[in-house]
Structures are given as structure tokens and as C-alpha cells.
Structure 1
Amino acid sequence: MQNAVILINAEKGKIQSVAERLAEVEGISEVFSTCGRYDLVAIARTRDFESLAELVTGRLDEVEGIRETETLNAMQVHSRHDLETMFSLGW
């Protein structure tokens, strides 16, 4: 499983619509609106690196209102939760 944090800045007045659209994108498990340097933070969970690459370079480009992104690919996940089970994609 590949996990990533995607930091997003949206066009003025489009934060809510971008967040709602992102929440519908396959591979995005959560979207948080934030204050500070970035407007939104999306958590991506995909089965492999190729799927993550398609999400970031393909599906996110289709979301109207995204101005810029920065993707942080997780090297390790440290959690009390069994993320493999919680977010199993069935493969």
C-alpha cells in the first residue's frame, strides 16, 4: 500500500467545491480544510506506486479549482490503527 499526504492550494472561492470533489476521487481517503500555507490536505491511499502516480498526475488534474499541489509520499506509517485492514482495496 502507498500512502501520501497531498498539500493543496485552491483558486479563490473554490476551496469548498475542490474539497467536496476530492473526497469523491478514488484513492483519496480524507480531505481536511486547513488554515495556514495550504488550503486543503488530502490523504491518499493506493495499492501501489503506479496507482498513486496516476492519482496525482491524472485524476487530480481533472479537479477544477486546484491551483497547486505538493505531494509527500510516506516512507513509513506509524499508527495505532491497522491501516492495511481499514483501507484494504481487495487485492
Structure 2
Amino acid sequence: MLIVNTAIVLIDCATDSIPEVAQAIADIDGVSEVYSVTGQVDLIAVVRVRRFEDIATVITGQISKVPGVLNTDSHVAFSVFSRHDLDAAFSLGFPDAD
């Protein structure tokens, strides 16, 4: 069984460089998605790593150091509740061939 540790990172960044900051964060190993959002933060990144210790490495060692990142607020997930199968989340997006 593959264990995945997940963190959700709320990111404030320089508003004139949101697309560039988002792409730089998306290119970091361990970052599975980056969303540009409305509200009190500019970006939300989802970090998924095998080792719990790697969460800190990815967030404080890499995301926080991306030029244009002003602040991060990290939330480590304890449990996941979903109607979607994890295999579907990692599929290539092709429909089943039933």
C-alpha cells in the first residue's frame, strides 16, 4: 500500500507575477497541483510526498524560496474523504473503455 502525505499550502505572492510564481511552484518535485484562486490568497498548492519529513523540505526549502512568494500558510492533511478513487485522480484523463 502506497502511503502519501499531503499538505495544502496557501500562498500570497506578488500580484504582478502570479502566473510565473505558480509555474515555478508547479515545477517543484512533490507539488502535484497549483491553483490560482480568488479570496485572501493568490495560489493554493497541493503537496504530496511519500515521507512525512519531505513536506517541510518542499514547503520551507523550496516553495517559500520561489521569487515572488511573500507568505505561506501550510495545512497538513490527517485524513482524506473523497467520492473519487485515488487511481482516477492519477489517471491520464482517458475515459474507461467499457
TM-score between both structures, scaled by the size of structure 1: 0.86
Instruction: Tell me the C-alpha RMSD between the 2 structures.
Output: 1.7
Percent identity between matched residues is: 34
1:81 corresponds to 2:89: no
Alignment correspondent of 1:29: 32
Q: How does 1:62-73 map to 2 (within 5 A)?
A: 62-73=65-76
Distance 2:77 2:10 in 1: 13
Deviation at 1:47, TM superposition (A): 0.6
Q: Structure 1 unaligned runs (5+)? A: none
Where do 4+ consecutive residues of structure 1 move more than 2 Å?
none
Aligned length: 86
Distance 1:32 1:61 in 2: 16
Q: Contact 2:9–2:45 (CA<8 Å) still a contact in 1? A: yes
**Higher relative contact order structure (alpha carbons within 8 Å, sequence separation ≥ 6):** 1
